[in-house]
Amino acid sequence: MLWRIALRISTGDQKSALVMIAHLSRRYLFSASHRLHSLEMSAEENQSTYGKCNNPHGHGHNYTLEVTVSGRVDESTGMVCNLVDLDQCIEREILSRYNLENLNTMQEFAVTVPTTENLCIEIFEILQRSFHQAHLDKVRLEETMMNSFEYAGGNNANY
């Protein structure tokens, strides 16, 4: 768990106060398969773009999902959020949906190539709609020990 301290300064008769903001990162494991293939490209373009990941039979990964949330530390519980609530949301919305599935058969990837980048964005958007007990900071998805992808929402005009 990472901690960040923010200083809130009030005006008038109110006193300045320190507000403790905590960042909680939790990890989850799931397995899924996919084939990286775009219907908008020729077979040669797909092979050139996606290489071995364009195998017609697909391939699988043991993904590690890291979800980071933040908020004030509750004085009575000492937590940013109830871990049971976070775990149940991840199980209900993410793990039960994607674990042991072929991503190419899922509705959200009917027209979108199921790259891990796109999966990471999809997971973030699902959690943003469904988890409200703390602020969702980011989602990090590790595909292999060499590849990981992170998404924190929004559009960056610099790209």
Task: Take residue 140 and report the two structure tokens written for it.
Answer: 């990090």
Architecture of domain 2-151: 2-Layer Sandwich (3.30)
* Predicted model pTM: 0.86
The mean pLDDT value of the chain amounts to 89
* pLDDT tens readout for residues 29-45: 999 999 999 999 999 99
Residue 91 three-state SS? helix
Residue 153 three-state SS? coil
Confidence at 133, pLDDT banded by 50, 70, 90 = very high
Three-state secondary structure readout of 93-140 = HHHHHHCCEEHHHCHHHCCCCCCHHHHHHHHHHHHHHHCCCCEEEEEE
The CA–CA distances, whole Å, from 125 to 82, 93, 99, 137, 139 equal 21, 11, 18, 11, 10
For CA atoms 24, 100, 35, 108, the dihedral sign is negative
Confidence at 91, pLDDT banded by 50, 70, 90 = very high
Query: Helix 116-130 to helix 83-90 angle, to the nearest 10 degrees?
Result: 130
* pLDDT tens readout for residues 56-76: 999 999 999 999 999 999 989
**How crowded is residue 51: how many other Cβ atoms within 10 Å of its Cβ?**
10
What pLDDT is stored for residue 18 in this prediction?
Answer: 67
Residue 23 three-state SS? strand
* Contact predicate 141/149, CB 8 Å: yes
